[in-house]
A = this chain, B = another copy of it.
Amino acid sequence: MKNKSVKAFAPASVANMSCGFDVMGMALDGVGDTVEVSMSEGDGIKIENKSDVSLPTDVEKNVITPAVRAFMQALGKKAMVEVTVLKKILPGSGIGSSAASSAAAVVALNALCDYPFSPEKLVEFAMEGECLISGTRHADNVAPAILGGVVFMRGYEPLDMVKLPVPEHFWCTVVHPHITVNTADARAVLPKEIPMRKAVTQWGNVGGLVAGFAMGDMDLIARSMVDVVVEPYRKGFIPEYDDLKEKLAMAGAMASNISGSGPSVFAVSQSKEKAHLLSEVMRRHFDALGIKNDVYVSHVMPHGARVVE
């Protein structure tokens, strides 16, 4: 076995996209994780962190580990897999930091092994990493991280994904305030049961959002980006959330919501200029609260994780 290595990049992503809790996500352009993977004789996983952010030193606690194990098990071969994390989105950001690492790792592994698996299969492997941190197998970050674009997950048994077209003038602005929201806590705050009326409202919006993307209707997309089920419970994690949302709407955001389980917040607009204006609104909001923050202005990344260099 050659000890060659492959480097891959996987984009950050916005899960849920408002109403699509657990079933929808989109890949961001220009922000993500880069990992390098090599294989040698032996059996096991080593993860080295050369990024600027701290990661678990115990491989059993790193999301990359279950993803790599799922890949190797499906491959039916034993090897010592060495993963080096080169660049990393801040963990706990709510823009799919763990998903990007798992996605980049399995995409690099797949290239290293001459592409034995389809992108769809790689999503399943990367989902194992998500299970480690949140306790549930969900693909709303790993699917866009690997497939790119806007991905809708019809169902999980079996995993059934639909990549939706994205309007040309769809811009996304994301702010990551440096506060800690644990994914498991963000799930625990949700009710186990929801009123039927709210569920109907939610699936009306989910269908509208899907129709908006599929039919290229930005207004329909914006009207559908309403979440009556999850946002009311999770917004409490984000300081002055209602105020931020109102300021974004005043500044021309077509819609805004929590990215994944937060604390990142995203806003949608139809031009680069507007998207940058919204980034200023976001930055000022958290600056005024004394909360350090990163702001990204992004298109939807049309393709997902890929080999780099």
Contact = CB atoms under 8 A, between A and B. Distances in A.
Interface in A54-111: none
Contact of A229 (B199, B211, B214): B199
Interface residues of A, number: 41
A55 to B, nearest CB: 30
Contacts of A224: 154
Contacts of A215: 162, 214
**Copies of this chain assembled into the complex:** 2
A152 interface: yes
A123 to B, nearest CB: 15
B201 A203 contact: no
A195 interface: yes
A214 B205 contact: no
13 contacts: A21-B203, A22-B200, A154-B208, A154-B211, A154-B224, A155-B226, A162-B211, A193-B193, A193-B196, A199-B202, A207-B210, A211-B214, A214-B215
Interface of A: 19-24, 152-156, 160, 162, 164, 190-196, 199-211, 214-215, 220, 223-224, 226, 229
